[in-house]
Amino acid sequence: MQTLENKIIEVFASKNEKYGYKQVAAKLHIYDKEGRAEVVRIIEKFVNVKILLKVGRGKYRINPRYLTKETTGRNYVTGRLEVKLSGAAFVLQEGENEDIFIAERNMSNALHGDLVKVLVFPQKEGRRTEGEIVEVLERSKKQVVGVISIQKGIAFFVPDSPSYRHDILIPTRLLKKAKNGYKVVVRIVDWAHGSRNPIGEVINVLGKPGDNNVEMQSILAENDFPLCFPANVEEEAAGIPIEIPKEEIKKRRDCRNITTFTIDPADAKDFDDALSYEKLPNGNFRIGVHIADVSHYVKPGTLIDKEAYERGTSVYLVDRTIPMLPEVLSNNLCSLRPHEDKLCFSAIFEMTEGAKVVKEWFGHTIINSDERFNYDEVQQIIDSGKGRLATEINDINALARILRKKRFDNNAINFETEEVKFKLDENAKPIGVYVKVSTEANWLIEEFMLLANKKVAERIGKKTAANKEPRTFVYRIHDKPLEEKLTTFKNFVKKIGYDFKVGSPKTSASSFNKMFQQAKGTQEYEMLSKLSIRTMARAVYSTENIGHYGLAFPFYTHFTSPIRRYPDLMVHRLLDRYFAKGSSVNQKEFEEYCEHCSQMEQKAVEAERTSIKYKQAEFLADKVGQVFEATISGICKWGVFAELKESKCEGLIAMRKFTDDFYYIDEENYTLVGLHHGHNYRFGDTVTVRVAGVDMDRRQMDFDILPTE
């Protein structure tokens, strides 16, 4: 038999509405004085323990956290809200294939990216699953970027992102002297249930839209990265001793007399890895991978450490780097600058001429780099066989070539992605665009960083006689692609002449490599490369090791860049703990750290892409009306995306501009199909376009399609 308490919960949970005690009593057919008094007593008890919330004079409703299938007989789920550019909203359930559609009237006060609790409506046959947001569990953004609009003494904030469909009301006292039309950063301070507009506070005035510095800062703030280091963090960093104590040197393996060098981009300032070279009497090589010992300087719980964790990573925009660590650390103390003693955490390998590792050692070292090279200088040495440290560089490169071949023979996938770079004038205005090409010099460094990351992960994660119980560790994992994505891809490439086998992960990886090899040098290569990447899962950090599909490594981590990635710093600390026979750390705690770092990495990638998009729009702003050759790079219900071949700028050809036929989208074949005349536009096709318009505020480029001659 149900208790009165359960019956009262059912009343509130059945429709999730507000009730007074008399309404509750009436619904339960309780009309006597004693019975009503008991209802009041139970309601007050539930309010005290926050099962019920007081929402007005004499009115109550159930706390959404207590809405479950058990209390209501209805289905509740949690997930991330995604608001499309069209205004359509969906909640993405983790691990589920089907998204839940949320009508605008059922959005409550949720915003794009928020973690929400959803009441799922009973599904009608043949209809999509719909629901209503009943609670915002976690806001996705701490801050929002946009423009202040002041009209008739009332200030509104209009977000830049079209995914945020609510203007924010800014009380005059919270404007911080922001002027009409200025770009600002705002945080939401209140949003009453049922109110259309949230209340916000200006936390940073950026300046006039269109200014390069304002736009770059906007991109950072949009992705929750701070615009500067707090003063107390800078002070703490400035107080770190520069001199290396003699006692510290005695604890370390001294590598200062071994030939050592760094290879980095020409404009780099944070050198976090170096290679050392020794030719041994037995004919083998001893190659050291020396990584800046950030963990020596940045201790857990310090202000610097907390700030680095919040940031998660350095951010690389087109015209600037926003470091994870204050400059005194990233560009000075920790940077492996030439002819300076530097503290490192090193992985040292004895290798045969066939690149087989016969001995490995991990530990703390001190080094003194002989030379700082950039990639172009090293490539010239590889090509000519001459130059400073030519013997050492060419021997190491010979080992790297073997490691690279072994990796691909083992079914690592050979993705060759393009990196768009800009030539900027003194005002950071783009005057040219080019694609950065990877060379053997890049691959040399890449292979030895991969080797170090792999061997470190194996040392902790692999079961051996000495390591019977692997401990909690931070892995870099990459899941295999979803089978349905691979099948769709297979069916498409088969139609254009490529045999692609879907089966085990090794079979699929082998098919990718074979296809790339066959397509190399053809017009289809770039298209196939991009479509292949879209089939892939995203690499993330996790304590649950499932291996790295793309690299074909059963064990892999990030150890080699602690100046710019927080997970690498965690790995260094865990290595110290486990090498000292310390107990395993708490897996749940470290999994949360991994999730945070994965999220911040994705935000950094988004910030970088957005800065590229902005500079591409700026580059095309004075080219409206000009005609270019382009490649179709995407097809969606709004139209066709085309990428200009020379500058790699991507714009949208709106569907309404295809006037010669009625077109529909064939998703499985990545094709826009003309219904009557048989004229199709396929992913990868070459088209001629005219730049129709550039919207700098939206970082959007619009193209017209021209008829082929």
pLDDT tier, 117 (very low <50, low <70, confident <90, very high otherwise) = confident
pLDDT for position 68:
59
pLDDT tier, 151 (very low <50, low <70, confident <90, very high otherwise) = confident
- pLDDT of residue 193 exceeding 80: no
Stretch among 267-271, 458-462, 467-471, 552-556 having the lowest mean pLDDT: 467-471
pLDDT for position 86:
67
pLDDT for position 422:
92
DSSP string, 302-360: SHHHHHHHHH-B-EE-SS-EE-SS-HIIIIIISS--TTSEEEEEEEEEEE-TT--EEEE
Query: What's phi and psi for 403, nearest 5 deg?
Result: -60, -40
At a CB cut-off of 8 Å and minimum separation 6, what does 672 contact? 635, 640, 658, 663, 664, 665, 666, 680, 681, 682
Stretch among 152-156, 191-195, 370-374, 548-552 having the lowest mean pLDDT: 191-195
- pLDDT of residue 440 exceeding 70: yes
- pLDDT of residue 182 exceeding 60: yes
pLDDT for position 379:
97
Q: Which one has a higher pLDDT value, 275 or 136?
A: 275
| Average pLDDT of the residues in 20-34 | 87
pLDDT for position 118:
85
| Average pLDDT of the residues in 257-283 | 95
- pLDDT of residue 654 exceeding 70: yes
pLDDT in tens, 451-482: 999 999 999 999 877 777 889 999 999 999 88
Q: Could you give the CA distance from residue 159 to residue 91 in angstroms, rounded to a whole number? A: 21
At a CB cut-off of 8 Å and minimum separation 6, what does 381 contact? 387, 388, 389, 390, 393, 394
- pLDDT of residue 709 exceeding 70: no
pLDDT for position 67:
63
pLDDT for position 66:
63
Q: Which one has a higher pLDDT value, 473 or 36?
A: 473
C-alpha R_g of the chain: 29
At a CB cut-off of 8 Å and minimum separation 6, what does 327 contact? none
Full strand arrangement of the beta sheet holding 680-682: 663-666, 671-674, 680-682
pLDDT for position 245:
94
pLDDT in tens, 53-111: 887 778 888 776 666 555 555 577 888 888 876 677 888 876 566 788 888 878 888 88
pLDDT for position 194:
67
pLDDT in tens, 575-610: 999 999 999 999 999 999 999 999 999 999 999 999
- pLDDT of residue 288 exceeding 90: yes
Q: Could you give the CA distance from residue 534 to residue 523 in angstroms, rounded to a whole number? A: 19
Stretch among 127-136, 262-271, 608-617 having the lowest mean pLDDT: 127-136
At a CB cut-off of 8 Å and minimum separation 6, what does 222 contact? 144, 145, 160, 161, 607, 610
Average pLDDT over the chain reads 89
Percent share of the chain, pLDDT over 90? 54
- Residue ranges of domains in the chain, CATH in brackets: 4-66 (1.10.10.10), 74-138 (2.40.50.140), 144-209 (2.40.50.700), 232-478+545-604 (no CATH), 483-536 (no CATH), 621-706 (2.40.50.140)
Query: What's phi and psi for 47, nearest 5 deg?
Result: -65, -40
pLDDT in tens, 360-371: 999 999 999 999
